[in-house]
Chain A
């Protein structure tokens, strides 16, 4: 029977009123359910997720040759280790012409031993951001602070990033960013205490040099993507970001993790970005750097399908929900984040969308059956 024939208007007046209402009810239900299902599918995503970790310096050294008056932040330089409104001070900064950051007239001071977490070898370093909380006694002669980075203990430096200060009171200036690699590709090994250095350079355009620079805090934030992926096979040869079938297992594998003890936590797609559904704690990684874990998706009923996450921590317990966990990666010691899609069909329990579709289908079927019976009754 064609659709047109199926919905042919009868001559009876009562039926003329009831039929469109029934069609609208069934069609609306069906449309709502399908819209919900398809919009949910479109929002799903998978793949590596970047991790950001922030650290403070714990060592410093003034540059004592060809660097202004050769004493850097000569007053309490250790005050730059924390955000506490106590300052490392560089009074009467510079000597002669200190208008060029890389020149010999500008004061320079190195900060290092950031104690970054053990970022896995092979991670992509997406960006490095340096925050400097600085005050200056006056804005006369356009005082500036420049920052540059070293990856080999101070032998070689990136091109500096220079900012003219805009306030005499303590102000936060940001150099670089989460997608700024300072003109080079970084390796995790270059972020160790032995290699990584931040150099702060102060200067201005005037002479004599009487600007006083005060530095409260100099943290560095590293944004990286760890080699941590989901696989569809136990041998971990086929990366997969989509798990669709009941009984599927998500096999996780990380490479390049330094020897140590780690936790892997799985979050479903529930409230607040997802709820913790499994923790595998105390996993030991030895010399091969391989971190393995797995989760059988039909372990629990009523877990929420959608975008799931598997997070790695340095043996620290994550929060119960995903959003809280990723909001404080340093507190939870985050060292990897991978997203993958889990379809509702892979999780046990009668799923809500399937229930909706079934009810809508039943509704439509009943209406159609009744409609046919009514037409037959009217003909008779």
Chain B
């Protein structure tokens, strides 16, 4: 087999593997953890706006449940975050609803009773 043909076949093979990887390999991966990122609290005239991202860097899609407790009221949100990406939650907290200026946010992984993140915001 001529040298040029061997080189040609080899190149096609490598490109084929690269094409396969581009399609099937997770584009973000390698770390096995979930994390809260880009957390921010913004105060406006009548409210606070709390924003954070859940980043799923585990090797599988993950479901999360977050529970907000504000002045005796509870709000629960459940979300499935595909692996390698994230989910953003923006919560509006109106000042008249938090007389104690305290908001709790607890984040659970699906099927786990212990939270992996628990935050108390003292908004004053």
B75 A359 Cβ-Cβ under 8 A: no
Which A residue's beta carbon lies closest to that of B4?
A374
The answer to whether A350 and B90 touch (CB under 8 A), given A276-B80, A300-B53, is: no
Interface flag for A299 (CB, 8 Å): yes
A281 B92 Cβ-Cβ under 8 A: yes
B5 A18 Cβ-Cβ under 8 A: yes
Count of interface residues, chain B, beta-carbon cutoff 8 Å: 37
The answer to whether A300 and B85 touch (CB under 8 A), given A281-B75, A356-B22, is: yes
Count of interface residues, chain A, beta-carbon cutoff 8 Å: 43
Within residues 43 to 99 of chain B, which ones have a CB less than 8 A from any CB in chain A? 47, 53, 63, 68, 75-82, 84-94
A281 B22 Cβ-Cβ under 8 A: no
Q: For residue A10, which residues in chain B have a CB less than 8 angstroms away from its CB?
A: none
B85 A281 Cβ-Cβ under 8 A: no
Q: For residue A279, which residues in chain B have a CB less than 8 angstroms away from its CB?
A: 77, 79, 87-90
Interface flag for A205 (CB, 8 Å): no
Interface flag for B35 (CB, 8 Å): no
Contact for B27 among A299, A301, A363, A366, CB less than 8 A = A301
* Cα-based distance from A271 to B83 in the complex (angstroms): 13
B23 A276 Cβ-Cβ under 8 A: no
B79 A302 Cβ-Cβ under 8 A: no
Of A277, A352, A374, the most chain B CB neighbours within 10 A belong to A277
The answer to whether A300 and B77 touch (CB under 8 A), given A350-B27, A366-B15, is: no
Of B11, B86, B90, the most chain A CB neighbours within 10 A belong to B90
Closest 10 CB pairs of A and B: A355-B22, A320-B80, A282-B92, A278-B88, A302-B85, A280-B90, A359-B19, A300-B86, A317-B77, A363-B15
Chain B interface (Cβ < 8 Å from any Cβ of A): 2, 4-5, 7-8, 11-12, 15, 18-19, 22-23, 27-28, 47, 53, 63, 68, 75-82, 84-94
8 contacts between A and B (CB under 8 A): A277-B88, A300-B88, A302-B84, A317-B76, A363-B12, A367-B8, A370-B7, A377-B4
Chain A interface (Cβ < 8 Å from any Cβ of B): 14, 18, 22, 25, 29, 270-271, 275-284, 295, 299-303, 315, 317, 319-321, 349-350, 352, 355-356, 359-360, 362-363, 366-367, 370, 373-374, 377
